[in-house]
Amino acid sequence: MTTRISRWIETDTGHRVPNHKNKCCHMHGHRYRWEVEIEGDIIIDVGTSDEGMLIDFSDVSRILTERIHDIVDHSFIVYEGDSEAIEALRLLGDDHRTVVVPFIPTAENLAKWAFEQVSPYIKTEYDNELRVVAFHVRETPKSWASWKA
């Protein structure tokens, strides 16, 4: 039997979808919610700090902070083929937080990217089996995308 847990963080991040037919072709930002969903076996090592858990929620928060938040919070994510946006962002100087990615930064693609950024780090020092089963990226309270294993 397996158990499933989730943990999320939020960032303020800009992006644009350069080929979008509507307003998303403009530079704009969102209050993103990045949520990881983890499945696995509960730690049964008696007397340990993590007994009864899959993984400590604070460990998951640390991973999300290091691998997602600290990279994209107050940054602008731009597709490497979006030369107009890259040129505009270049004018802001080297101190501007620009994250260049090899894909158009839609919620769907960001969910896959986040899954790949976080998955290798979801593990414990115990012998319990863990795996990231999904990553959800919420752009607005009504709109989100998921990437599942």
Q: What is the pLDDT of residues 76-108, one digit of tens each?
A: 999 999 999 999 999 999 999 999 999 999 999
Any idea what DSSP says for residue 93?
A: -
Mean pLDDT of the chain: 96
Residue 31: what pLDDT? 98
Cα-based torsion angle of the residue sequence 36, 41, 42, 43 in order, rounded to the nearest 10 degrees: -110
Cα-based torsion angle of the residue sequence 43, 45, 48, 52 in order, rounded to the nearest 10 degrees: 30
Residue 39: what pLDDT? 97
Tens-place pLDDT, residues 8-33? 999 999 999 999 999 999 999 999 99
Residue 109, pLDDT > 60, answer yes
First vs last Cα of the chain: how many Å apart? 18
Residue 1: what pLDDT? 56
Per CATH, the number for 3-148 is 3.30.479.10
Chain centre to alpha carbon of residue 94: 24
Domain ranges in the chain are 3-148
